[in-house]
Every structure is written in structure tokens, then in C-alpha cells.
């Protein structure tokens, strides 16, 4: 009977995990979690840098397009002024313009 009680105690103690083993497993799990989070943080940091670079590039392209649109607008305004001046000449008659003969 004493032998059976002793075996039951040993079996019960063997089923109970040691604190050092539990701590080691927890440390491994925590280390894996930290590694995963660090990898995600690095990836996110890289993606943010890429997005900032793309934003800068798009802003520069937008500014360039604005300059081009302003240049086109100025060109159209000059052409409109030329057409209006030509129309005024036709309205007043070409004979009213002094002709220089050198």
C-alpha cells in the first residue's frame, strides 16, 4: 500500500510541469512573437517609406503638370489675342492700316 501511494505521488509529480520548463517555453513563445512583430514593423516601415517617396514623386509630377497647363493657357491666350486683333483689322478694313513702302 505504501508502495502504491508512493507511485501515485511520483506519477502525479511527473504530470505536473516544472516551472523552469514552463518559463523556457514562455520565453521561446515570447521570442517568436517579438520576432514576428519586429518583422511586421520593419515591413510597415519600408512600405511607409515607399509611400512617402511615391507621394513626393506624385507631388513633383503634379507641379510639373500645373506649369505645363499654365504654359498652354498662356499660349491659348496669345492665340486668342492674335485672332481678335486680326478680326479687328477685318472689321475696320485692311485699307485703314498704313502700308510702309521702303
Q: What is the pLDDT of residue 16?
A: 57
pLDDT in tens, 9-59: 555 555 555 777 777 888 888 888 888 888 999 999 999 999 999 999 999
| CA-to-CA dists, residue 81 to 41, 46, 52, angstroms | 59, 53, 43
Whether residue 47 lies inside any domain: the answer is: yes
Q: Give the C-alpha separation, 7 to 1, whole Å.
A: 10
Q: Is residue 18 part of a domain?
A: yes
Bigger pLDDT: 87 vs 69: 69
Say which range, 22-26, 69-73, 80-84, 86-90, has the weakest mean pLDDT.
22-26
Domains: count for the chain: 1
* Residue 7, pLDDT above cutoff 70: no
Taking residues 48-73, what's their average pLDDT?
97
Percentages helix, strand, coil for the chain, rounded to the nearest 5? 90, 0, 10
Residue 82: inside a domain:
yes
Q: Inform me whether the pLDDT recorded for 96 exceeds 70.
A: no
The residue range of the domain holding 37 is 10-95
The sign of the dihedral angle between the CA atoms of 16, 18, 21, 27 is positive
| Residue 5 within any structural domain of the chain | no
Give CA–CA dist 73/79, Å, rounded: 10
> Among 1-5, 40-44, 72-76, which stretch is predicted with the lowest mean pLDDT?
1-5
Instruction: Confirm whether 37 is domain-assigned.
Output: yes
Residue 100 within any structural domain of the chain: no
85-92 mean pLDDT: 86
Determine, yes or no, domain membership for 101.
no
Contact 95, 87 (CB under 8 A): no
Amino acid at each position: 500500500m505504501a508502495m502504491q501511494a508512493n507511485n501515485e505521488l511520483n506519477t502525479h509529480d511527473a504530470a505536473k510541469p516544472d516551472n523552469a520548463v514552463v518559463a523556457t517555453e514562455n520565453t521561446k513563445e515570447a521570442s517568436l512573437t517579438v520576432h514576428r512583430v519586429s518583422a511586421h514593423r520593419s515591413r510597415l516601415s519600408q512600405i511607409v517609406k515607399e509611400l512617402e517617396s511615391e507621394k513626393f514623386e506624385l507631388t513633383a509630377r503634379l507641379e510639373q503638370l500645373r506649369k505645363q497647363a499654365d504654359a498652354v493657357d498662356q499660349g491659348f491666350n496669345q492665340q486668342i489675342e492674335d485672332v481678335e486683333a486680326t478680326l479687328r483689322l477685318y472689321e475696320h478694313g485692311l485699307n485703314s492700316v498704313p502700308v510702309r513702302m521702303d
